[in-house]
Amino acid sequence: MKRDVIVLGAGMVGVGCALHLQARGLSVALLDRRAPGLETSYGNAGIIQREAIAPYALPRGLGFLLSGMSNRRVDVRYHASGVARLLGSLWSYYRHSAPGAYQRISREYETLIAHSLETHERLMHDAHVEHLVAGRGYLMLYRSERELHEFFKIADERARMGVHHVKLNGAEVAQAEPALIGDFAGAVRWTDPIAISSPGDLVQAYARLFAQRHGTLHLGDAMTLRRTDAGHWQVDAADGVLEAPQVVVALGPWTTELTSRYGYTAPVIPKRGYHMHYTRLPGKPLHSTVIDAEYGFVVAPMKDGLRLTTGAELAMPDAPRTPTQIDAAEKIARAVFPLGERVEDEPWMGTRPCMPDMKPVFGAVPSVPGMWCAFGHGHQGFTLGPITGELLAAMVTGAQPRVDVRPFSPERFAR
Ligand SMILES: Cc1cc2nc3c(=O)[nH]c(=O)nc-3n(C[C@H](O)[C@H](O)[C@H](O)COP(=O)(O)OP(=O)(O)OC[C@H]3O[C@@H](n4cnc5c(N)ncnc54)[C@H](O)[C@@H]3O)c2cc1C
């Protein structure tokens, strides 16, 4: 089965690439070992984060580092074995999180986030998925007056960059979300983001749109990728062998397992996260997604119940699960949010593929003709999949991308 391009990986990033390559007139095959959108793009908090114009920095304060070492924080946990393997990358992450470097990185990051809503909205319109929109905006909730006022300053800075918000005091929080229990200093309601009621369903709807537009979806193992004598790429799919002159590797945290076979290894920092759904308590609705800023977890009203998602666990993607983080988050969340019974027996787990410089990686794989990659979207890959796809498709077809793509080049990790 011959195509112009094979895209490996049908998460939000791979599907975004496949749709935009197709929109540029290429015949595209999309391959995954599972149905589309069943890994990290399935289990996230479902926010299309137009407000996230700065990526997640590593907090550099001594207090955070000391409390982090105890491994009892709710927002960040770690496996000692994982940290030992990631020491070099974490040191690089720490250095990139220094104020000067972080400001430069955030300016670059913002150029992508600025297009995240419009690129999603176009696809959402074409895919007829208005029913997956749970609501507009979300709440960033604070208990401490001091931290709330610090965050108000950040919100004001972002307002100058076109990101909209409303400030709420404690009484206004109680009015907006009467089911929340506790004395809150207040909140910022970001008003631009879109909250999705089932992130996996959105990826699947985009994949269906790709198929309706004559793209082909295949099951198969990307690790069977090989070169032909003619310099094309071949990969084994359940329904035959796919062949194309170009391949895009968009395997999320697994991307460099494949590219390293061709000499390209980039330092992915895996930040794992867990989720669990809870039944809704009668007469106590939660109207919008809420981030508990102090403890770093999210509660989102979703199709399958109220979804609690955790912060980061630094551990290798294949290391045993340690759902103590979700147990800790649940304990705190139960005192505040209207959580009923657990819906699933076991928590879901996925891995955010983060880079030490906090920016995604997309473009031509250095020194491997015909191989492209798109990965490393960290905390915002659900948001950034479509704009990444648009820019990568421009590069593959030799067109001028509308954003300066140099800050996101795979070259920065070439050895
Ligand atoms: C708890 C949590 C909450 C989050 N909340 C948000 C949020 O609110 N907003 C946001 O923007 N982002 C959020 N994120 C981040 C976001 O989910 C990720 O950045 C994004 O899903 C990454 O997409 P991806 O397509 O790169 O990877 P994935 O979705 O992981 O897709 C990779 C694909 O590759 C496939 N694959 C892997 N190996 C093979 C192989 N050998 N052969 C074939 N196929 C293979 C997998 O099956 C998978 O479908 C969150 C993440 C977590 C963990």
Ligand 1 centroid, distance to 59 Cα (angstroms): 24
Residue 251 Cβ inside 6 Å of ligand 1? The answer reads yes
121 exposure class (CB count in 10 Å sphere: 0-12, 13-18, 19+): middle
Atom of ligand 1 nearest to the CA of 16: 25
Domain span at residue 205? 5-60+106-413
Q: How far is the CA of 47 from the centre of ligand 1 (A)?
A: 14
Inside any domain, residue 281 = yes
Residue 47: helix, strand or coil by DSSP? strand
Asked whether 45 lines ligand 1 (CB < 6 A), one says yes
Q: Kindly state whether residue 94 falls inside one of the protein's structural domains.
A: no
Expressed in angstroms and rounded, the spacing between residue 90 Cα and the centre of ligand 1 is: 21
Atom of ligand 1 minimally distant from the CA of 221: 42
Inside any domain, residue 186: yes
- 220 φ/ψ sector (left φ>0, alpha ψ -120 to 50, else beta): left
HSE-CB at 402 with a 13 A cutoff on CA atoms is 8
Residue 66 has pLDDT above 80, yes or no: no
Mutate-to-test residue for ligand 1 from 74, 352, 361, 388, highest number of ligand atoms within 8 A of CB: 352
Report yes or no on 82 lying in a domain. no
Cα distances from 63 to residues 14, 56, 151, 177, 356, in angstroms, run: 39, 18, 19, 32, 21
Pocket of ligand 1 contains residue 138 by CB under 6 Å = no
Question: Quick one: angle between helices 12-23 and 199-212, nearest 10?
Answer: 20
Examine the pLDDT at 126 and tell me if it is beyond 90: yes
- Determine contact, residues 347/395, Cβ cutoff 8 Å: no
The CA distance from 45 to 71, in Å, is: 23
What confidence tier does 371 reach under pLDDT thresholds 50, 70, 90? Answer: very high
Q: Which residues pair with 169 in a beta bridge?
A: 186
Residue among 13, 30, 119, 251 to mutate when testing ligand 1 (max atoms within 8 A of CB):
251
Ligand 1 atom closest to Cα of residue 274: 1
Amino acid 46: pLDDT: 98
Q: Measure 17 CA to ligand 1 centroid, in angstroms.
A: 14
Residue 298: per-residue pLDDT: 97
For the chain, the maximum distance between any two Cα atoms, rounded to a whole number of angstroms, is 69
Asked if residue 361 is part of any domain, the answer here is: yes
pLDDT at 259: 98
Q: Span 255-266, mean pLDDT?
A: 97
Pairwise CA distance, residues 310 & 322, whole Å: 12
HSE, side-chain direction, 13 A CA sphere, residue 98? 6
Residue found under tokens 């309706």: 212
The answer to the question of residue 334 being in a domain is yes
C-alpha 180/C-alpha 97 separation (Å) is: 34
Strand locations in 66-185, DSSP E? 76-78, 133-142, 165-169
User: Is the pLDDT score of 326 beyond 90?
Assistant: yes
Residue 196 has a pLDDT of: 98
Q: Tell me the residue type at 97.
A: S
From 379, 383, 387, mutation site for ligand 1 pocket: most ligand atoms within 8 A of C-beta: 379
* pLDDT, position 318: 86
Considering the domain boundaries, does residue 77 fall inside one? no
Query: For residue range 186-218, what is the model confidence (pLDDT) as tens digits?
Result: 999 999 999 999 999 999 999 999 999 999 999
Query: Does the beta carbon of 358 sit less than 6 angstroms from any atom of ligand 1?
Result: no
Dihedral angle of Cα 340, 349, 410, 103, to the nearest 10 degrees: 40
Domain count, the chain: 1
Q: Is the pLDDT of residue 305 over 90?
A: yes
Tens digit of each residue's pLDDT (9 = 90 or more) over 136-166: 999 999 999 999 999 999 999 999 999 999 9
Question: Is residue 34 in some structural domain?
Answer: yes
% residues pLDDT > 70 (the chain)? 100
What does pLDDT average to over the chain? 95
CA 106 to chain centre: 16
Q: Tell me how many degrees the CA angle 11-17-20 measures, rounded to the nearest 5.
A: 135
d(CA 156, CA 109): 18
Interstrand relation of 240-244 and 361-364 (parallel, antiparallel or unpaired):
unpaired
Q: What is the mean pLDDT of residues 81-105?
A: 92
CATH number reported for the structural domain that contains residue 295 in this entry: 3.50.50.60
pLDDT of residue 63: 72
Dump pLDDT digits (tens) for 270-294: 999 999 999 999 999 999 999 999 9
